[in-house]
Structure 1
Amino acid sequence: MAEEAEQDFRALLNIPSNYKVLFCHGGGRGQFAGIPLNILGDKKVADYVDAGYWAASAVKEAKKYCTPNVIDAKITSTASAL
């Protein structure tokens, strides 16, 4: 089920295979630091889709650990897909 959900998500948003898709459970804000700390490794840039309040909070936390590349879904054509 998880693999099918990831495939559907990738197809819906055209996410290439060289990007990771994470489905994180509960504790919203707790994951905001964990993702850049545990996933980035030596990389210093991470992509974020800013689709509202929670995404903006994730970007704010990510700035402590990396340089977020922010895609503003509110002004792109993908906003309707979100």
Structure 2
Amino acid sequence: APVSGSMILAGVLLKLGGYGLLRVFSLMQVLGMKFNYIWISISLIGGVLVSLICLWQMDLKALIAYSSVAHMGIVLSGLMT
């Protein structure tokens, strides 16, 4: 797929993924909130590490993919607060 298609898919699917996580976490609130500090720690560390990997990327598609992963890590930590 061209780079523009990857960017559009990354943007749309990130929003839908965040909405899906919000819906699932509302169903499993008791189980998810029991381990929320663990989820927050792992997702923040993962988001920061993947963001650092983004700094060394030369390929634009790989940069979009890594930034999408980092963004979902930050979204997950935000949902768990």
Normalised TM-score (structure 2)? 0.29
Higher helix share: 2
Larger strand proportion of the pair: 1
Say which one has the larger Rg: 2
Structure of greater relative contact order (alpha carbons < 8 Å, 6+ residues apart): 2
TM-score, normalised to structure 1, is: 0.28
